[in-house]
Amino acid sequence: MMDRMIFAVVAVAFVILGICMAIWPARVARQSRDAGDGEPGAGELVRMRVVGAVMAALAGYGLYAIAAGFPGAEFSPV
């Protein structure tokens, strides 16, 4: 039960991060830059939006799989 809760919280965090990457790509890109690197280019912003959208979609599906109990999403002690 605790494993499901931890994975669900992580999935929600990745959904939020992906949405932030898709909505504010320049702000997220600036967080990983040094002080004198300048502004991110248009290609980098598009790439950041695509990565954010894919991350949010995959994490959302993972959260759905955990909540619905799909095969492969169940947690069993090893």
Q: Do the domain assignments include residue 37?
A: no
Domain assignment of residue 24, given as a range: 2-30+42-68
Structural tokens at position 52: 């954010």
Q: Do the domain assignments include residue 36?
A: no
pLDDT tens for each residue of 37-74: 778 888 889 999 999 999 999 999 988 888 887 766 56
pTM of the model: 0.77
Rounded Cα distance, 55 and 49, in Å: 10
Structural tokens at position 7: 């994975």
Structural domain count, the chain: 1
Positive or negative, the Cα torsion across 57, 58, 63, 67? Answer: positive
CA distances from 78 to 3, 7, 10, 13, 63 (A): 13, 17, 21, 26, 22
Q: Do the domain assignments include residue 78?
A: no
Positive or negative, the Cα torsion across 13, 19, 49, 54? Answer: positive
Q: Do the domain assignments include residue 23?
A: yes
Mean pLDDT (the chain) is 84
